A and B are shown apart, each in its own frame.
Chain A
Amino acid sequence: MHNLIAFFRRFRIFMLFVLLQIFALSNYFTSLSFPRSQYISSASAVSSTILEGKNSVTKYWNLGENNILLQKENIRLRRKISSTFMRLNSRLVKIKDTLYQQQYEYIPGIIINSSCNKRNNFFTLNIGKKQGVKRGMGVFSDNGIIGVIHNVSDHYSVIKSVLTQSINVDVIIESSGAFGLLKWDGRDPKRGSISGISNDMKIKKWSKIVTRGGSGIFPRGLMVGRIETLKPIEGKPLWDVTLRYSEDYTKIQNVYVIKNLLREEQEKLEKKIPEDIVE
C-alpha cells in the first residue's frame, strides 16, 4: 500500500497530464464526426458573444463586395416575378397548381466567424434553434454550397464547411452525369477534389459540378465549382478530378440554411429498406 501511494505521488503530475490530454484529444476526435457538447464550441454563449463583437468590426471589410453579390441575386430573382412580365393574353385565368409542392425553405443567416487555413474549418452562423436551424441541414450561398450544420445552440450554430476532411457531399458532373463525393485535401481553400469517378467516362475540363441531391440535405443542382484539372490515377480505373470552388470561402457573409420539408418522409421511407439488401 505504501509503495502504491509513493508511486502515485511520483507520477501524479504525469498522470494529470495524461488525463487532461485524453480529455482534450478525445473531445477533438469525437467532435469531428459528432459534437459532444456545444460548450466548447463557438455556438456557446460566451464565445458567440465575443465573435459577434468581432464581427461587428470586421463585417465592413467585405461589405461592398457582398452587397453587389446580393444585388445581382436580387436582379436575377426579380426577372422571375410576375410583375416583370407583361400580360399578353388577358383572358387567361389563374388556376390552383397541384403539380408542384414546395419542398425546400431557406432561412437567411450571416457568417460571423470563419477560417480557411486549418485542416477542418468550421464557420459560425448567427442563427440557431430559435430560427429553426437543426443539425444536418445544408447551407449554401448564391455562389455555391458552404457546408452542413454541425452544432446548434439557441441563437447560434456551427457549420462544418466544405473545407473539412470528411464532408463527403454527393456531387455530379452536370454535362456527363457522373457522380462522386466531394473531398478536400487541406491545402488550398480554392480547390477541392472529387473521388470515385470512373475513367471510362468522357469528361470535359471546366464543366460544371453541382450537387446531386440524393441525401435530401441539398436540393439537386446547387453550384459547387468547375473542373480544373483531370488526371488518371495510376493503377485504378478512376479519374483524379480537381475542381475550383465557385464560392470564395475567405469572403463569404450572407448564406441560406436549407430546410427540407420532405426530409422526414424520405428518411422514414429509406429506413424501411431491409439492411441485408443494402449490404
Chain B
Amino acid sequence: MKLIITQLIRFVLFVLIQALVFNQLEIGLGIQVMIYPLFLMLLPFETSVLVLLLLAFIMGLSIDAISDTYGLHTSSLLIVAYMRPIIFNIFAPREGYDTIKEASFFEMGQRWFTSVFGLLLLIHHLWFFVFEMFNMSELPLILQKTILSVPLSFLLCIFLQVIFVTKPKER
C-alpha cells in the first residue's frame, strides 16, 4: 500500500514538473529536457510490462494534454515501457536483480545506471524527435536535438535523484 501511494505521488510530481517546468524552458539550439522516463525507470523490478505500458500511456497523455503535443510524449514513453524489461534483461547482474532494491543511481551503482538509463533515454529522445519532425530531410536537426538534449536530461535525472530519492542507509 505504501508503495502504491509513493508511486502515485511520484507520478503526479513527474507530470507537473515536466509539463510546467521543463516544457516551459527555452534553452535554445533545440534542446528539450525530458525527465519523465525516470518515473518508469524507478518502478520496482518485478513490475509487469502490462502495468508499465498502461502507466506510460496515462502519464504520456497527461503530459500531452497540458503541453499540446497530442500524443507525441505518449508514443515515446510507450517505447520506453516496452524496452525497459528487454534492456534490464541484457544488463542483468549474474545473480539476478535484488527485488528489494530500486533501479536508482545509488542502489544499482553508477555503471549499471548510466548504461541502462542512458540507453533508454537515448531511445526515448530519438523516437520523440524523429516523430516530431517525421521528415528525412530534417535529419541533421533531429540528431542535433537528440545529441544535445540527452546528456542534459540525464544529468538532471541524476540531480533529481540526489534531491528526492532517499539514499540507501549505510550498512
Closest-CB distance, A76 to chain B (whole angstroms): 29
CB <8 Å contact, B82 and A27: no
Say yes or no: A23-B71 contact (C-beta < 8 A), given A40-B65, A46-B65, A119-B132: yes
Give CA–CA (A28, B133) in the complex, Å.
12
**Complex contact A24–B60 (CB within 8 A):** yes
- Contacts A13-B50, A119-B132, A187-B141 hold; do A24 and B71 have CB atoms under 8 A apart? yes
Interface residues on A, range: 35 or more
Chain A contacts for B19, CB-based, 8 A: 50
- With a cutoff of 8 Å between Cβ atoms, the chain A residues found around residue B70 in the complex are 27-28, 31-32, 35, 40-41
A17 touches B75 (CB 8 A): no
Shortest distance in angstroms between B18's beta carbon and chain A's nearest beta carbon?
A: 12
A179 within 8 A of B: no
Complex Cα spacing A14 to B49, Å: 10
What residues of chain A lie closer than 8 Å to B61, measured between beta carbons?
24, 40
Residue pair A124, B71 in contact (C-beta under 8 Å): no
A13, B69: Cα distance in complex, Å:
25
**B78: Cβ under 8 A from any A Cβ:** yes
Question: Scoring B residues 96 to 121 as 1 if CB is less than 8 Å from chain A, else 0, what string do you get?
Answer: 00000000000000000000000000
Contact of A117 among B30, B74, B131 (CB under 8 A): B30
- Which residues from chain B contact A116 at a C-beta distance below 8 Å? 26
Once the chains are docked, how many angstroms separate the CA of A190 from the CA of B2?
49
B75–A41 contact, CB under 8 A?
Answer: no
Residues of A with C-beta under 8 A to B72: 24, 28
Q: Mark A30-59, 1 if CB is under 8 A from B, else 0.
A: 011001000111101011001100100010
Task: Knowing A25-B131, A158-B68, A186-B141 are in contact, say whether A17-B27 is a contact too (CB < 8 A).
Answer: no
The CA of A262 and the CA of B72, in the complex, are separated in Å by 38
CA distance A79 to B43 in the complex (A): 64
Bitwise, A154-174 to B at CB < 8 A (1) or not (0) is 000010000000000000000
A-B interface contact total, Cβ < 8 Å: 102
Asked if A250 and B26 sit within 8 Å, CB to CB, the answer is yes
**A-facing residues in B33-67 (Cβ within 8 Å):** 49-50, 53, 57, 60-61, 64-67
Interchain CB contact under 8 A, A39 and B69: no
B95 interface contact, C-beta 8 A: no
Q: Given the complex of chains A and B, what is the CA–CA distance between A268 and B12 in angstroms?
A: 49
Q: Is the CB of B27 within 8 A of A40?
A: no
- Cβ of A92 within 8 Å of any chain B Cβ, yes or no, is no
Among the listed B27, B69, B82, which residue makes an inter-chain contact with A118, where contact means beta carbons less than 8 Å apart? B69
Given known pairs A25-B131, A116-B26, A119-B133, the reply for A17 and B68 (CB within 8 Å) is: no
Digit string of B20-32 for contact with A (CB within 8 Å is 1, else 0)? 1001111110111
**A184 interfacial by beta-carbon distance below 8 Å:** no
Residues of B within 8 A of A42 (CB): 65-68
In the complex, what's the smallest C-beta–C-beta distance from B124 to chain A, in angstroms?
Answer: 13
Q: Using Cβ atoms and an 8 Å threshold, which residues of chain A touch B170?
A: none
- Whether the pair A117, B66 counts as a contact (CB closer than 8 A) is no
Whole-angstrom distance between the alpha carbons of A195 and B32 in the complex?
Answer: 28
Contact, CB under 8 Å: A47 / B66: yes
A186 contacts B67, CB within 8 Å? no
Whether A115 sits at the interface, judged by CB under 8 Å, is yes
Most buried by B among A26, A31, A44, A189: A31
Q: How far is the CA of A21 from the CA of B16 in the complex (A)?
A: 23
Q: In the complex, A2→B79 CA distance in Å? A: 30
Q: In the bound complex, what is the Cα–Cα distance between A96 and B24 (angstroms)?
A: 51
Contact surface of A with B, Cβ cutoff 8 Å: 13-14, 16-17, 20-21, 23-29, 31-32, 35, 39-42, 44, 46-47, 50-51, 54, 58, 113, 115-120, 122, 124, 158, 186-187, 189, 250
B interface vs A, CB < 8 Å? Answer: 16, 19-20, 23-28, 30-32, 49-50, 53, 57, 60-61, 64-72, 74-75, 78-79, 81-82, 131-134, 138, 141
**9 extra interface residue pairs, beta carbon distance < 8 Å, beyond A40-B71, A117-B28:** A13-B53, A25-B131, A31-B70, A40-B65, A41-B68, A41-B70, A42-B68, A44-B65, A115-B67
